[in-house]
Amino acid sequence: MSSLAPNEFSSEVSYLNTASYGLPSARSLTAIRDMNAQWAAGRGGPSTNDHLVPRLRESYARLLAGATADDIAFGSTVAQLIGPVAVALPPGAEVLVAEGEFASVSMPFLHRGDLVVRVVPLERLAEEVRPETALVAVSVVQSADGRMTDLPTLRAATRSHGARLLVDATQAASWLPLSLADADYWVCATFKWLIGARSVAFFAAAPEAIETIRPVAPGWYAAADPWAEMYSPAKLPSTARRFDSTPDWFGVVAASAGISLIEELTVEKINAHNLELADRFRAGLTELGLTWVPSRSPIVTVPGAGDAATRLEQADVVTSARNGGLRFSFHLYNVAEDVDRALEVLAAE
């Protein structure tokens, strides 16, 4: 199996760590270089690329079926974008989170101080929703081990009990088909599977869900017309845009380049490519007598093997140790040789 984009990436190692950080594409590196050169020449600062913001908003909306650009807000981190949802909950409200959930999803609720945060196993999340539950917050794909949330079942459970559902798509966007209707609120960082930038993240919500929350500390860029209302009391738009924070335009340039490649390749092709590589790896692990956390995602974790990450990196196989396990992740720039190289190093232990 060949890379989906052989001319876009130049990794010198078997990079199996997209779940931590995606690799930059050639078009992204070129765009950032050109932007820096223009800035250094005094021919426009970073904000001259503000025209890319609405385009990037539209691109992400296309990856979230049923969404429009008006449903998408810009931020820099997942936790920051979750903030308004956490603040809107009444004191004593129950928030349900999965055991082992990534901290950026759970901490905005845990550290508000006056909420009841109940932690349950991921597999029991839907059945643990009850009338007292105000919100469920979960990643559609778990960062530590690639386990996947049954969103349709969970969505049905939250609706039946009148609870809201917040979903983090950071480990899913680009390779897994997503639909706005499957949650009330969505958050997503771009620097992993969207091969974007550390400073760009998205928030999305349907209009009926948007009406339940308000910005915590809106800045100038959240105004209805930010460039015209910098120095006057500004009106906030009725759309998700009122949750915008000032973009890092370097990040916008990088994220725009990354998402353009994702759209060209299509989620369907990336899904098939990534899963084929991950399945090949899981089969190889089984042949080696190694166990892996059951899942059908491009993230494959070998429990208890986290100490091997350094040895693998010394052999030019880059992975990550997470929660005691050894985590491998396979994306569009990986090839079958990367899988076989990882298995070869593991077999030599």
- The residue-averaged pLDDT of 218-246 equals 92
Beta bridge partners of 119: 97
Judged against a pLDDT cut of 80, whether residue 210 lies above it is answered with yes
Q: Are residues 206 and 287 in the same domain?
A: no
Q: What is the pLDDT of residue 348?
A: 87
- Whether residue 349 is predicted with pLDDT greater than 80 in this model: the reply is no
Task: Write out the two tokens for 14.
Answer: 């078997």
User: Whole-angstrom Cα distance, residue 249 to residue 38?
Assistant: 13
Evaluate if residue 46 carries a pLDDT over 80: no
Of the candidate ranges 42-56, 105-119, 146-160, 233-247, the one whose mean pLDDT is the lowest? 42-56
For position 141, what pLDDT does the model report? 98
Once rounded to an integer, what is the mean pLDDT over residues 266-281? Answer: 98
273 shares a domain with 152:
no
Q: What is the pLDDT of residues 146-189, one digit of tens each?
A: 999 999 999 999 999 999 999 999 999 999 999 999 999 999 99
What range defines the domain where residue 111 resides?
30-263
pLDDT bracket for residue 207 (50, 70, 90): confident
Same domain, 65 and 86: yes
Is 230 found in the same domain as 156? yes
> Three-class SS string for the chain?
CCCCCCCCCCCCCEECECCCCCCCCHHHHHHHHHHHHHHHCCCCCHHHHCCHHHHHHHHHHHHEECCCHHHEEEECCHHHHHHHHHHHCCCCCEEEEECCCCHHHHHHHHCCCCCEEEEECHHHHHHHCCCCEEEEEEECECCCCCCECCHHHHHHHHHHHCCEEEEECCCCCCCCCEEHHHCCEEEEECCCCCCCCCCCEEEEECHHHHCCCCCCCCCHHHCCCCCCCCCCCCCCCCCHHHHCCCCCHHHHHHHHHHHHHHHHHCHHHHHHHHHHHHHHHHHHHHHCCCCCCCCCCCEEEECCCHHHHHHHHHCCEECEEECCEEEEECCCCCCHHHHHHHHHHHHCC
Mean pLDDT (whole number) for 224-253: 92
Q: Say whether both 305 and 160 belong to one domain.
A: no
Q: What is the pLDDT of residue 105?
A: 98
Q: pLDDT tens digits for 300-348?
A: 999 999 999 999 999 999 999 999 999 999 999 999 999 999 999 999 8
Q: What is the CATH number of the domain that holds 208?
A: 3.40.640.10
Domain count, the chain: 2
Q: Is residue 8 part of a domain?
A: no
